[in-house]
Amino acid sequence: MRLLVTDLLPRSSAATDGEVISPARTCVVLDTSALIADPECVFTFPDADAVIPLVVIEELDQHKTRLDDVGRAAREVIRTIEDLRVGNGGDIRQPVAVPGGGTVRIETNGLHLDQVEAKGLDPHKPDNRILAAALGQAEQRPVRVVSNDAALRIKAAQLGLDAEEHHRLLGRRDDERPVGWITAEVSSELIDDVFASPHGVAVDALIGTEAMLDDAVGTNEFAVLRSGSQSVLVRRQGDRLIGLTRPAEAWGLRPRSKEQHFALDLLLDPSVRVVALDGIAGTGKTLLALAAGLEQVMERGLYDKVAVYRPVVPVGRAELGFLPGGLEEKLDPWMTAVTDALVALTERRSHADARTLLEEMTERDKLSMEAVTYLRGRSLQGTYILVDEAQNLEPPTLKTILTRVSEGTKVVFTGDTSQIDAPYLSERNNAIAVLIDAFEGEDVFGHVRLAHCERSEVANLAAMRL
């Protein structure tokens, strides 16, 4: 959502010339990476005065022609700042009030380049000029440098400045984010009740220590209920705990762990239209999601086709245009992981069988593999969408994907938030993290973190010890 400041602010909201800013308010100096990661960043500091050094505008101008998420974000930030400027008489050199109580302005002067150079930093580099602007502000009041560039934050600390990373939607740390399930000690009677009733047990009927399950298990979250040697897996649906008493299976694939069982339960439930699976490499995220898609398209007929999307994150100079061939051939290196998952789902674990299945489903328009880049403007009807490697997606792209979803469509995001290849993203502000924070508790959403590597003994050792 892009705010039109001209609709929200009167022209009188700009500070008058010569107005002295209260030293009690903290100054927040925003760098380019923070604005790229969250184009609405300027509106997220209600109790502070946001300052954007002019060199940041220059960097945004250099990024705006890029045909990716960074270019799109740069253009949106530039338009937002232009709305602020026009809505306040054409001048943004003085503080301009923004919704929420904060202010924003562009700083041209007051750069302490001599202090930057004295520390051995090149005063001509944009990052160092941003730090010089922050040093100038620090002479008047407390200053925080907000940047998603770790190197810039380190340099800021060496200059005696407070520095922090910007987290879109006030996202939680990765270790604070819910895993989607808990383990709880309960009475044997409760376990017996779960097994006896196909409709589960009412949460509001629980008493004593078991009543804590009402708060501990949210909508579409799971629990392992234990009592001595007895145990049962349950999922909360509405106000009831429903037992997962039947073996789950999709396209011949059976879960190897409780987390995989939880994941399949969400993947095979058409009422849960948005699913997020995160976890380390080898936990089966892509395999489970693809198997569930094939099962519901080819066997159950719930969806018309499986559409697999992956972000194209180049390494070095290996952009799409750098590779030979047409679009399908260019995308092939990024889609190999999906082909590998198909190999695991064939009866003989054969690459030839997987290729035959892929070609057959593609010819019948039952399976497509595309880059997220080409999703804008689409409207996806009756489709099972798998967005793989979603940790490399910017939050604005997450919104683009979800706004493409029409009735009868399900979308599954898989990824490993510890393996992020995209610039300006971290474990806290990537698409999966933002999705979990924003959709938690919604009836149409479910999330499970898979913790155990099931690929092989070697892969498990590597994941745990390296």
For residues 269 and 394, state if they share a domain. yes
Classified as helix, coil or strand, 214 is: helix
Among the listed residues 275, 293, 264, 285, the one whose alpha carbon sits nearest the alpha carbon of residue 439: 275
Residue 362: predicted pLDDT: 86
Among the listed residues 209, 184, 206, the one whose alpha carbon sits nearest the alpha carbon of residue 193: 206
For residues 459 and 371, state if they share a domain. yes
Query: Per-residue confidence at 377, pLDDT binned at 50, 70, 90?
Result: confident
For residues 242 and 261, state if they share a domain. no
Query: Per-residue confidence at 176, pLDDT binned at 50, 70, 90?
Result: low
For residues 407 and 334, state if they share a domain. yes
Q: Which residues contact 325 (CB under 8 A, 6 or more apart)?
A: none
In the chain, the percentage of residues whose pLDDT exceeds 90 is 54
Is residue 8, in this structure, part of any structural domain at all?
Answer: no
Alpha helices in 65-166, H assignment, sequence order:
69-86, 113-118, 126-138, 150-158
- Residues 323, 329: contact at Cβ < 8 Å? yes
Mean pLDDT of the chain: 84
For residues 302 and 435, state if they share a domain. yes
**Total tally of structural domains belonging to the chain:** 3
| Amino acid making up residue 335 | M
Alpha helices in 38-125, H assignment, sequence order:
54-63, 69-86, 113-118
Residue located via tokens 């502070």: 48
Domain holding 155: CATH number? Answer: 3.40.50.1010
Q: Which of 246, 267, 291 is the last residue of a domain?
A: 246
Residue located via tokens 């919704």: 99
For residues 182 and 160, state if they share a domain. no
Which domain, by its residues, includes 273?
256-314+324-464
Structural Rg of the chain based on CA atoms: 26
Residue 312: predicted pLDDT: 65
Q: What is the pTM of this model?
A: 0.70
Lowest mean pLDDT among 96-110, 180-194, 235-249, 439-453: 96-110
For residues 297 and 365, state if they share a domain. yes
- Residues 92, 105: contact at Cβ < 8 Å? yes
For residues 296 and 434, state if they share a domain. yes
Per residue in 130-152, pLDDT (tens digit) is 999 999 999 988 999 999 999 99
- Residues 188, 230: contact at Cβ < 8 Å? yes
Q: Strands of 445-450's sheet, edge to edge?
A: 367-371, 305-310, 383-387, 410-415, 274-279, 445-450
For residues 70 and 215, state if they share a domain. no
For residues 157 and 201, state if they share a domain. no
